Structure 1
Amino acid sequence: MTQQLTFNLMPTRKTWTVSELTGKIRDLLAKNFTDINVQGEVSNRREAQSGHIYFTLKDDRSQVRCVYFKQQQRGIKFRPEDGLQVTARGSISVYEQRGEYQIYVEKIELVGQGALQLAFEQLKKRLEDEGLFDAAHKKALPLLPSRIGIITSPKGAAVRDVVRILARRFPNVHLTVYPVRVQGEGSAEEIVKALKFFNAKKMVDVLILARGGGSMEDLWSFNEEIVAHAIFASEIPVISGVGHETDFTIADFVADVRASTPSAAAELVVQTRREFDKHIADLRETLAGQIRYRLLEFSRRVHELSARRGFRRPLDLLRQQRQRADEMTSRLALGLRARLEQSRKRFTAAHLRIASFDFRMKIAAFRLRLEKHTTELGVRAERFLRAKRERWQRLTVQLQERGPLKVLERGYAIATDAAGNLLRDAAQVAFGDTVAIQLHRGRLTTEVRKKETT
């Protein structure tokens, strides 16, 4: 039996699944395109509720999808919009669910010289829509600030100008300078920290945010959104004195008062003092004028009164006024009595109505009647006793007038025998009996020796 040898000259082909192929492409892209810059025009821009931004970057022949996650957007100076020419920096990977490659953007910059201006306009519009520029939120400057806080660089000319103006025109003011960087990385955070410090300590009446002139990039710290929100949240009035006359920053729009320069900011504070002094001077002049007018008016009135007939007869005028006062007093008394009587009737009627519905009021009325009857009974009893006492006194006087003792005063006497029996006849005693004789004053005891019958 002849053995046959078989040779497979065709190469072995690997079969890929879709996921395997997509993963292989993802790994290749992630390995070779980790940090790239891609320039193009933004289109199909869409912002999700999560804050992530999705857009397409395109040129005249191709396009690529881009994802700009929210956590990567910190510090961004503008928001991507359709039609903008930008340079996106990031890495390429594959979104496996759709099998599309896309750029995960880490940083994005505008192409051209107007990048900062566009970022400025976008932020300005967004903050204006949020209400940070509304005049209703602006706080008035204090009339006489005694403590002023200054947020600026300690090395610049701005702080020297502000301090010189305030010290010359407002010598008794207390200045507190919080040193910060006014440009460069981290300067916006320092400005926010200074604003929060003064609001936490409540140590000043007004704040001046000052910086000298410079390019738009130099002044960008005052265009940062965190600085705008910190100024808006400040409970202390803020004056923005940043740049020159023609320079405008976001801080100028959010601040309570905008000054064209740092020196102008100091002038605004001093102006409130000048206004106060002028107001005091105006009030002094107005008061002096009013006093002069009143004096002239009183002088004229005195001359008019002195020329009147009644003024030459002050006694008659005084009497008439007294009589008129008496009449007014009488009328007032009558009116008050009538009013009082009317009020008493109304009170009585109301009292009766209330008493008809309130058992306690009936008890109170019964108690009042009982007290009244008790009082009347006491008065009657006292009157009755007084009458009886007077009658008793009269009878006593009569008894005394008609009693035997009163007769004894006239020289008569009362004779009684030994048993105390009253003797009216001589036959009632015998010779030798003892007889007691009651005189007006004193008592005698005698013995019968002789009797006479009449």
Structure 2
Amino acid sequence: MVARKKNIVSENRPDGMSVSEITALVKENVEKNFPDIWIIGEISNLTRASSGHIYLTLKDESAQLRGVVWRGAVPMLAIEPADGLEVLCHGRLEVYAARGTYQVSIDKMHVVGMGVLESRLLLLREKLLQEGLFDPHRKRPLPEFPKRIVLVTSPSGAAICDFLETLKARWSVAEVFVMSVRVQGAGAAEEIAEAIRQANLLSLPIDALVIARGGGSLEDLWAFNEEVLVRAIADSRIPVVSGVGHEIDITLADLAADVRALTPTDAAVKVSPVLTQVLDLLNGLLHRAHTALVQRANQASERFDSWSRRLAMHEPSRTIQDRSDFLDRTSSHLASVMRVNVERASERLRAAAAQLEANSPLAILARGYCVAWTDDHVGVLHSIANVQSGAFLTTQCTDGRIISRVLKTESVLPVAPH
């Protein structure tokens, strides 16, 4: 009887779904119905993997949701994620079948309200202030006539154009090395800090380092309030000019820099003299030297006249005549020598200015050419055989230089003639 009852139960039992089947069904429905969502929550349990991915938990008072920011999406975040921040995230829900869990894949992130950011800013500012990073005694003066300037900025923003155009109009003889970085979003602060460190490792002497970015909200400019960037500015052996935002925007990078500029344009003004004013100054000094020489010649002539009159009182007519003739010749010769020297000095100044302008690399490169060489400066780069992957290249263009790193090299076979 027992065996028969078991057979009846077995015959009436419905077919079941496997774990994989039910999970696949859940995954299909979840990912199909939640491909584009916005979620508000507080970040906790944030972890940065060595792969570059960011793992976190979004929570409110009654629930939690796991989240992930894949490495490729990190640069698109408007703010650097941190535990305790209340954020608005955009993404899609995903089911991880191997664990039977679901998570949100985040591709955008914004802070909810500025109160949290402002509180973090005040705490960090007080901390760095106590360490002396904003001490006015740490500020260094900028060189009066800079030869080489490093510009750290975004290659696509208005800041780079404003800076280079202003600098070219004021002090075109300076060489500019442009280091391209992101100036907004997660990871931007680390990228700018690394560019500052690389600039300090260049073999060429650099006179000034300029950080430039246009204006924006507190969230947009948050990279310039990150501790890693502020410390890189403070550690730089090259004087740093911070030209970030507009006049009303003040960041911790501004406070740590040697010179704060109101805008990228103002940064170009603060880092450079005006070439025409320098030439006017040289001409003024030349005029003063000429005037001083003439005055000394006139004084010498007057002394000779005085001596001649004294001798005449004793009637040494021949001696007086000889002295008078000598004085006339000497005065004439001196005046002639002074005129010649002044004219030669003026000509040398004009020739030097013309030669400086003619030999400027910018004048040669203005025709559209660029020249590249490796960081060890063994010569101009003629072949890919002379450069290795990972090496730094310096590319000279008409409006500045670009520092770049070689990812790989590819040979190009010559096209066979038809």
Length-normalised TM-score, structure 2: 0.47
Relative contact order higher in (CA < 8 Å, ≥ 6 apart) = 2
Q: Which has the larger radius of gyration?
A: 1
